[in-house]
Amino acid sequence: MKQKLFLILSIIVFLAVLVFVLYARFLGMDQITNTNTNIPVVKNDPGIHVITPTQDEVIASPLKITGIVNGNGWIGFEGQVGTVKLFDEKNNELGMAILTAKGEWMQAKIDFETTLWFDYSGEGSGKLVFYNENPSGELERNKTLTLLIKLIKSSSEKIIVRAYFNNNQMDANISCTKVFSVNREILKTTAVARVALEELLKGPTVSEQHAGFSTSLNKGIKIQSLVIENGVAKVDFNEELGKGVAGSCKVQAIRAQITETLKQFSTIKSVVISINSATEDILQP
């Protein structure tokens, strides 16, 4: 009797599973929702999706890489989700970078980003190979993804420029025109003065702020043009430079930050600042 009952129950379970599978196929269910995370898990999902660059894209240094991991062996661990290596057509390694999690890494779906610097002397093909984060060390848990790309001449050579900020900890008198430099490492470029200004507009980093550095420049300021002729740097900004500027001290501080950042270069002796091409009646206290 018990054997017959067990057989009947087994048949019922089998039929129920069969009906569910057939019904799922009938509806075209190629996705199953993870009820814990509400994230679609696609059948044969690689677990990593590279947003930039794309397959066969032409890349140069520095290369910004972004994407998403969402399981299947691709996880976050201590703020990172893996590494990426760049190889040329002869399988020579050109560079490596850590895939850094953007925001919280202890979740099923994680956005990541990184910047990869490399040198390449000509034009050719190559590949980016992504490696998962595997804290277990077990070989069977290793995962990779390969993305084919095209390479052009690139250099990872960097130089140091200075950006000038206010710092009341260094300036006991809290004078308006006294500014102090911080070093910024940038990719070597012929437009070094413009890049130095762009570093200035980024403002002080968190660590620099802790050291007392601050800026008098508004957020959202854009460089519209920069021309250097006969030792004079003429730089034109958008209207954000003059918004909300009040008080002669702040005006002097703004001018000092821009002027000193540009005058670090021997080819620049003086600086003319404009807003939307206007030099008069700007940066008024």
- Mean pLDDT across the stretch 115-125? 91
CA distance 95 to 171: 42
* Confidence at residue 36, expressed as pLDDT on a 0 to 100 scale: 33
Class of domain 45-151: mainly beta
Asked if 180 and 88 count as a contact pair (C-beta separation under 8 A), the reply is no
Q: 0.85 cut: is pTM over it?
A: no
pLDDT digits (tens, 9 = 90+) for 183-212: 998 887 788 999 999 999 999 999 999 999
CA-CA distance, 182 to 259, in Å (whole number)?
Answer: 15
Is the predicted pLDDT of residue 243 greater than 80, yes or no?
A: yes
Lowest pLDDT segment from 29-43, 169-183, 260-274? 29-43
The pLDDT tens digits for 7-55 are: 666 667 666 665 565 554 544 434 333 333 333 444 568 899 999 999 9
Q: How many residues does the chain have?
A: 285
Q: What is the pLDDT averaged over residues 53-73?
A: 94
- What average pLDDT score do residues 252-270 get? 96
pLDDT of 89 higher than 80: yes
Looking at residue 247, what is its pLDDT?
A: 74
Q: What CA–CA distance (Å, rounded) separates 196 from 271?
A: 14
Rounded to 5°, angle at Cα 240 from 272 and 276: 50
57: CB partners within 8 A, 6+ apart: 149, 150
- Of residues 267 and 174, the one with the higher pLDDT is 267
Q: Which of 31-35, 96-100, 116-120 has the lowest mean pLDDT?
A: 31-35
